[in-house]
Amino acid sequence: MPGSEVYDFVEAADGFAEVFPQHKYNVVEILQQRGYLVAMTGDGVNDAPSLKKADTGIAVEGASDAARSAADIVFLAPGLGAIIDALKTSRQIFHRMYAYVVYRIALSIHLEIFLGLWIAILNRSLNIELVVFIAIFADVATLAIAYDNAPFSKRLLSGTFPNFGVCPFFLDSFSPSHLDHSSTMIARGEMGVSFKTLVS
């Protein structure tokens, strides 16, 4: 088959059987070139290259040392239930991260407006005690996000973050690490995962 037909065939397929290690690697590579984020499970030495190539390599319970070394995630429990539990937990974490980013952006906009009006109307700067109080109060409020009963999405997390730019002055209250992480997530605008069943 021509190259384009192979790509279309791989993208439309639900699974593959009796494939060689090179075929697994090619499937992962083709899906990545089509813009998918690819996760793959494996347990043998021959799965190591594909696990390393995939965006998320998952070594199942009882996997070889080579597969464990190449994988990003190693499951200690048998069965596919561990994958489902991991997806639920990761989507709950993503929900908390999303809530945190929205809160920090909204808080930054609020503070910019408040400080701008304060200086423009009263023509004076804030007391240092008030600045410290605002900073501490804003950080304490974010602790609730880490312990809330976050739901997990039952659909693919695609397009959750819109593709938009955020002015730097809206993000003044971010630390450099938060700004880098959040801007990366917003810039990507997509968190999708493609699962293809590869049965050797």
Domain ranges of the chain: 3-79, 90-188
Of the candidate CATH numbers 3.40.50.2300, 3.30.465.10, 3.40.50.720, 3.40.50.1000, the domain formed by 3-79 belongs to 3.40.50.1000
Lowest mean pLDDT of 84-98, 106-120, 127-141, 170-184, name the range.
170-184
Mean pLDDT, residues 10-19: 84
Lowest mean pLDDT of 72-76, 145-149, 157-161, name the range.
157-161
End-to-end CA distance of the chain: 22
Q: What is the CA radius of gyration of the chain?
A: 23
Instruction: Indicate whether 148 pLDDT > 80.
Output: no
Residue whose pair of structure tokens reads 């995962």 in the numeric block: 193
Instruction: Indicate whether 108 pLDDT > 60.
Output: yes
Identify whether the C-beta of residue 172 lies closer than 8 Å to the C-beta of residue 108: yes
Q: What is the pLDDT of residue 188?
A: 36
Rounded Cα–Cα distance for residues 90 and 76 (Å): 17
To the nearest 10°, report the CA torsion of 154, 157, 163, 168: 100
